[in-house]
Amino acid sequence: MSNAAALEHLEGMAILHPDMSEKYTELSSMLSKKLYHQLTVATLDMVSSQASMRQTAEGGNGYLALYDKVVLSVDKKLNQLALARIASCVASSLILENTTDGVAAKAVLENLLEKKDRLGAAASLYAAAKLGLLTLALMERLGAMDQKALEQIKETSKTNKVTLGELADGADGDTAVVHSAYYECAMTYRKAVGPPEAYYREAIQYLAYTSLDALSSQKRIELATDLCVAALTGEGVYNFGEVAHNNAAILAALEGTPNHWLVKLIHASADGDVQGLDKITTEYAQQIQDQPALLNRAVLVKEKITLLALVNMVFQRKPSDRTLIFKDIAERIQMPEDQVELVIIRALSLGLIKGSMDQVDGTVHVTWVMPRVLDNNQLTDLAQRFGEWAVKVSKTKEFMGEHIPTF
């Protein structure tokens, strides 16, 4: 479409929608002056806000008309990643209007991806990730999983993972939105097909590249809930500090909601607080019943808390005092003493601790404990230990200087 036709469309929309006339007039001015960067920024800002969506005179979607008649007329001259972001917003607006027919919405991104050579790696990856998200959203709304489509998303994700590794990494700038889109698609796919530990890994990465301000309150609540459940039920997920401390901001979304008990459960798990866990499970028994994932993996969750209680017990000891007695362990993990040996063996097999066990004396000597994310109190304690160690080193140095002759 020529610039003349694009300008005519913008002028017509300005007349049709007086409340938006200033925005359309600005776009028209930028297009006529060939200010393509400003045009891109202004268009992206407009289509990013669903509140400004308007129909055309023919009753069609205003965003789609803007995209088809204006954006595509100069698409070669625009920043290609910004073009992909605009296309994604347009596609999303289409499924908001019609939740059962996503053909037109998917076509926007599919047609764009036919121009991969021109788009470049970042824009193509972004568009592909958003297309995958769109497909998953439509499946959820229709209440049916398309196995062929799921397999396609899985294969595309594998290819995109390689491309993602080749992009310049960074939590700021253009690459952040690409990483965010990729991991959002990956975690949404894993939410649909599992397993929970895979969802957990993708969600943690997604949060690393995504500003919470960009998410709706409902999205934050949903993400926080899913992340907590995945951390608790995912096999091999033991460093709960990633959620409890590094991602405390997303957990804050659950405050004042019916799922706020999950935050308590995560903190009890991170601290290895067996008594706290028992208290929470009793107090919120009904809410736990409403979470099938927790019920189905109740044994795994209990085992995690028990193992983390042992890990915390070791961590709280000084490196010179890490020979633990079975009786003390039994009190800490709230289990009979004759079952402590099995817990230690399990912790050793999972690599949570390293050391040796004396079954005759009923002790275990720990030489290494799993690295973990620390809270402020634990950091303060660690700083104190470093201080004590520094004093010992200094005294040893002075002793050596006084008692070893100089040659």
**Integer-rounded Cα radius of gyration of the chain:** 28
What local confidence, expressed as pLDDT, does residue 195 receive?
A: 94
Domains delineated in the chain: 1-78 (no CATH), 317-403 (1.10.10.10)
What local confidence, expressed as pLDDT, does residue 250 receive?
A: 93
At 30, is the pLDDT very low, low, confident or very high (cuts 50, 70, 90)?
A: very high
Per-residue pLDDT tens for 286-343?
998 888 888 888 888 889 989 999 998 998 888 778 899 999 999 999 999 999 999 9
Instruction: State the greatest distance between any 2 C-alpha atoms of the chain, in Å, as a whole number.
Output: 99
Q: Which of 325, 247, 309 is nearest to 276 (CA)?
A: 309
- Partners of 358 in the β-ladder: 363
Q: Which of 212, 198, 201 is nearest to 250 (CA)?
A: 212
121-142 and 147-166 helices, crossing angle to 10°: 150
- Partners of 325 in the β-ladder: 363
Q: Which residue stretches of 70-102 are H helix?
A: 80-97
Residue with the larger pLDDT of the pair 383 and 346: 346
Over residues 379-403, the mean pLDDT reads 62
- Rounded to whole angstroms, how far apart are CA atoms 221 and 253? 5
Sequence-separated (6 or more) residues with CB below 8 Å from residue 27: 10, 39, 42, 43, 46, 70
What local confidence, expressed as pLDDT, does residue 171 receive?
A: 45
- Rounded to whole angstroms, how far apart are CA atoms 269 and 287? 17
- Rounded to whole angstroms, how far apart are CA atoms 251 and 265? 12
Note whether 166 and 182 are within 8 A (CB). Answer: no
What local confidence, expressed as pLDDT, does residue 95 receive?
A: 82
The rounded Cα 142 to chain-centroid distance in angstroms is 25
- Rounded mean pLDDT of the chain? 86
Residue-by-residue DSSP string for 334-399: TS-GGGHHHHHHHHHHTTSEEEEEETTTTEEEEEEE------HHHHHHHHHHHHHHHHHHHHHHHH
Flag whether pLDDT at 388 surpasses 70. no
Note whether 334 and 361 are within 8 A (CB). Answer: no
Q: Which residue stretches of 99-120 are H helix?
A: 103-113, 116-119
What local confidence, expressed as pLDDT, does residue 143 receive?
A: 77
- Cα distances (Å, whole numbers) of residue 158 to 18, 42, 151, 221, 388: 47, 34, 11, 28, 49
